[in-house]
Amino acid sequence: MIERKDVEHVARLARLALSAAEIEKMREQLNGILAYIEKLNALATDDVEPTSHAVPMVNVMRDDAPGPCLPRDEALANAPDRAGEFFRVPRIIED
Amino acid sequence: MTWEVVIGLEVHAELTTRTKMFCGCPTTFGASPNTQTCPICLGMPGTLPVINRRAIEFGVRTALAFNCRINTACRFARKHYYYPDMPKNFQISQYEEPLAEDGWLEIDVQGGTKRIGIQRLHMEEDVGKLIHDGTLETAPSSRVDFNRAGVPLMETVSKPELRSPEEAAAYLRAFRSVLMYLGVCDGNMEEGSMRCDANISLRRPGATELGTKVEIKNLNSFRNAQRALEFEVKRQAQALEAGEKIVQETRLFDADKGYTRSMRSKEYAHDYRYFPEPDLVPLKLEGAFVDGIRAALPELARAQQQRFVAQYGLPAYDAGILTQSRALAGYYEAAVSALAPGGSTASPASAKAVANWIMSELLRVVPGDDERAIAESPVPPAHLAGLIALIDDGTISGKIAKDVFEKMVRSREDARTIVQREGLTQVADTGAIAAIVDQVIAANPKAIADFKAGKTAAAKSLVGQVMKATQGKANPAIVNTLIEEKLAKV
Nearest by CB to A61, from B53, B82, B131: name it. Answer: B53
A16-54 burial string, b = 16+ CB within 10 Å, else e? eebeeeebeebbeeeeeeeeeeeeeeeeeeeeeeeebee
First-to-last C-alpha distance (Å) of chain B: 72
Whole-angstrom distance, CA of residue A11 vs CA of residue A4: 11
Confidence at residue B458, expressed as pLDDT on a 0 to 100 scale: 83
Bridging pattern class, strands B77-80 and B275-276? antiparallel
Q: How far B256 CA sits from the closest chain A CA (Å)?
A: 22
Q: How far is CA B8 from CA A1, B124, B163, B176, in A?
A: 38, 20, 9, 16
Confidence at residue B267, expressed as pLDDT on a 0 to 100 scale: 45
Instruction: Tell me the pLDDT of chain B (490 aa) as tens digits.
Output: 799 999 999 999 999 999 999 999 999 988 999 999 999 999 999 999 999 999 999 999 999 999 999 999 899 999 998 889 999 999 999 999 999 999 999 999 988 899 999 999 999 999 999 998 877 778 889 999 999 999 999 999 999 999 999 999 999 999 999 999 999 999 988 889 999 999 999 999 999 999 999 999 878 899 999 999 999 999 999 999 999 999 988 898 988 888 998 876 544 456 889 999 999 999 999 889 999 999 999 999 999 999 999 999 999 999 999 999 999 999 999 999 999 877 677 888 999 999 999 999 999 999 998 889 999 999 999 999 999 999 988 888 888 899 999 999 999 999 999 998 988 887 767 778 888 888 888 888 888 888 888 887 888 888 888 888 888 788 888 888 888 888 887 7
Do the chains contact at A75 and B19, CB–CB below 8 Å?
Answer: no
Q: Which residues of B touch A58 (CB under 8 A)?
A: 281-284
Inform me whether the C-beta atom of residue A4 falls under 8 Å from chain B C-beta atoms.
no
- Contacts of residue B439, defined as CB under 8 A and 6 or more positions apart, other chains included, come to B469
Q: How far A83 CA sits from the closest chain B CA (Å)?
A: 7
Do the chains contact at A60 and B51, CB–CB below 8 Å?
Answer: yes
Confidence at residue B180, expressed as pLDDT on a 0 to 100 scale: 95
Confidence at residue B6, expressed as pLDDT on a 0 to 100 scale: 97
Nearest by CB to B56, from A61, A70, A76: name it. Answer: A61
DSSP B237-249: HHHHHTTPPPPP-
Bridging pattern class, strands B69-70 and B152-158? unpaired
Q: Which CATH number fits domain A4-42: 3.40.50.720, 1.10.20.60, 1.10.3720.10, 3.60.20.30?
A: 1.10.20.60
**Residue B226: its H or E element:** helix B222-241
Q: Judge whether residue A38 has pLDDT over 60.
A: yes
Q: Judge whether residue A77 has pLDDT over 60.
A: yes
First-to-last C-alpha distance (Å) of chain A: 34
Whole-angstrom distance, CA of residue B444 vs CA of residue B457: 14
* Mutant choice from A6, A76, A91, A94 vs B, greatest count of B C-beta within 10 A: A91
- Look up the ipTM and state it: 0.90
Confidence at residue B342, expressed as pLDDT on a 0 to 100 scale: 73
pLDDT digits (tens, 9 = 90+) for B4-37: 999 999 999 999 999 999 999 999 988 999 999 9
Q: Which residues of B touch A72 (CB under 8 A)?
A: 32-35
Q: Which residue of B has its CA nearest to A50?
A: B276
Q: How far A24 CA sits from the closest chain B CA (Å)?
A: 22
Whole-angstrom distance, CA of residue B168 vs CA of residue B7: 7
Q: Which of A37-46, A82-91, B130-139 has the lowest mean pLDDT?
A: B130-139
Residues 10-29 of A with CB under 8 A from B: 13, 15
Confidence at residue B269, expressed as pLDDT on a 0 to 100 scale: 53
Confidence at residue B397, expressed as pLDDT on a 0 to 100 scale: 84
Q: How far B298 CA sits from the closest chain A CA (Å)?
A: 21
pLDDT digits (tens, 9 = 90+) for B124-142: 999 999 998 877 778 889 9
- Contacts of residue B202, defined as CB under 8 A and 6 or more positions apart, other chains included, come to B3, B4, B5, B6, B211, B233, B236, B237, B240, B246
Q: Which residues of B touch A61 (CB under 8 A)?
A: 50-53, 56
- 3-state SS assignment for residue B71: coil
Inform me whether the C-beta atom of residue B278 falls under 8 Å from chain A C-beta atoms.
yes
The count of other CB atoms within 10 Å of the CB of residue B252 is: 18
**Rg from Cα positions in chain B:** 30
Q: How far B177 CA sits from the closest chain A CA (Å)?
A: 24
Q: Which residues of B touch A90 (CB under 8 A)?
A: 141
Closest to B251 (Cα-Cα) out of B218, B295, B225? B218
Q: How far B83 CA sits from the closest chain A CA (Å)?
A: 8
* Mutant choice from A49, A53, A69 vs B, greatest count of B C-beta within 10 A: A69
Confidence at residue B433, expressed as pLDDT on a 0 to 100 scale: 83
pLDDT band at A95 (very low <50, low <70, confident <90, very high): low
Confidence at residue B360, expressed as pLDDT on a 0 to 100 scale: 96
Q: Which residues of A touch B271 (CB under 8 A)?
A: 13
Closest to B472 (Cα-Cα) out of B436, B438, B437, B427? B427
* Mutant choice from A61, A63, A82, A85 vs B, greatest count of B C-beta within 10 A: A61
Q: Which residue of B has its CA nearest to A90?
A: B141
Confidence at residue A13, expressed as pLDDT on a 0 to 100 scale: 86
Q: List domains and CATH numbers for chain B.
A: 4-293 (no CATH), 302-421 (no CATH), 430-489 (1.10.10.410)
Inform me whether the C-beta atom of residue B286 falls under 8 Å from chain A C-beta atoms.
no
Do the chains contact at B137 and A62, CB–CB below 8 Å?
Answer: no
Q: Which residue of A has its CA nearest to B267?
A: A93
Dmax of chain B from CA atoms? 99
Inform me whether the C-beta atom of residue B50 falls under 8 Å from chain A C-beta atoms.
yes
**Residue B445: its H or E element:** helix B445-452
Closest to B136 (Cα-Cα) out of B268, B248, B16, B299? B268
Q: Which residues of A touch B47 (CB under 8 A)?
A: none
Inform me whether the C-beta atom of residue A52 falls under 8 Å from chain B C-beta atoms.
yes
- Contacts of residue B62, defined as CB under 8 A and 6 or more positions apart, other chains included, come to B13, B121, B154, B156, B178, B179, B182, B184
B313-345 burial string, b = 16+ CB within 10 Å, else e? bbeeebbbbbbbbbbbbbbbbebbbbbeeeeee
